[in-house]
Copies of this chain bind each other. A is one copy, B any other.
Amino acid sequence: MGRWHPNARGRLEQAALELYGERGFEQTTVAEIARRAGLTERTFFRHFADKREVLFAGAGSLRELLVSTVASAPDSVGAIDAVVVALEAAGSLLQERRDYARQRQTIIAANADLRERELIKLASLASAIADTLRRRGVKDPAASLTAEAGIAIFRIAFERWVTDANEQDLPKLIRESLAELKALIAGDRRSLSATAHA
C-alpha cells in the first residue's frame, strides 16, 4: 500500500528527462527513474508502459485537442484552416512547456529508435486528423492531403521553434509555415534560379 502521490506522473516525467539528458536514454533504467522521483517502480508502471513511453505520454492529449478542434470548427471555415487552427492550439499547449519540449527533442534526436517512434506518433496524428475531416464530410484525397500537409507545416514550425532560441511563438511559426507553403505551392516565386543565384 503506497502513499498517495498526487503529482507522481509529473515527477516521474521530470526525473526521466533529467536522467536521459545526463546518462543517455539507453543507459537509464526504470529503477533509477523511480528512485530519482522518490517513488517506486510499481508506481512508474502504473503510469507508463516502459521508459520510452514517458517521452510520448503527451501524444494522447495532443491528439484529443487536434481532433476536438477540427470536429468543432464552424462549417464556414476551410478544411486546411480548421487543421491549422487546431495545430496552433496544440502549439500553444506545447509552448507552455518549452524547456521540456527542448530537452525532450535533444533526447529523441540522439536515438534512432526514439526518432522512429516520433515519426509514428506524427503519422498517427495525421490519420486522426484525416478521420475527423472525413467524419465532417471531406472526401479523399482531400482529407488525407489536408491532414498530411498540416502535419508537414507543424513539423517544420516545431523544428524551428525548438532549435532557434529567438523563435518564441510556436503558433505564429505555424501560421508562417502555412503562408510559406501557400507561396511555395503556388509556385510563382522560389524558382531554383531565384534562390541559387541570389
Q: Complex formed: what's the CA distance from A187 to B159 in Å? A: 25
Question: In the complex, which residue of chain B has the Cβ closest to the Cβ of A176?
Answer: B141
Interface-located stretch among A21-29, A30-38, A75-83, A89-97? A75-83
Q: For chain A, give the interface size range.
A: 35 or more
Q: Does A19 contact B (CB under 8 A)?
A: no
A41 to B100, CA, bound (A): 48
Closest residue of B by beta carbon distance from A134: B195
Tell yes or no: A69 within 8 A of B by CB: no
Question: Contact between B152 and A156 (Cβ–Cβ < 8 Å)?
Answer: no
9 A-B pairs besides A76-B191, A79-B195, A145-B153 with CB distance below 8 A are: A75-B193, A75-B197, A80-B184, A80-B185, A136-B192, A136-B196, A139-B195, A149-B185, A182-B186
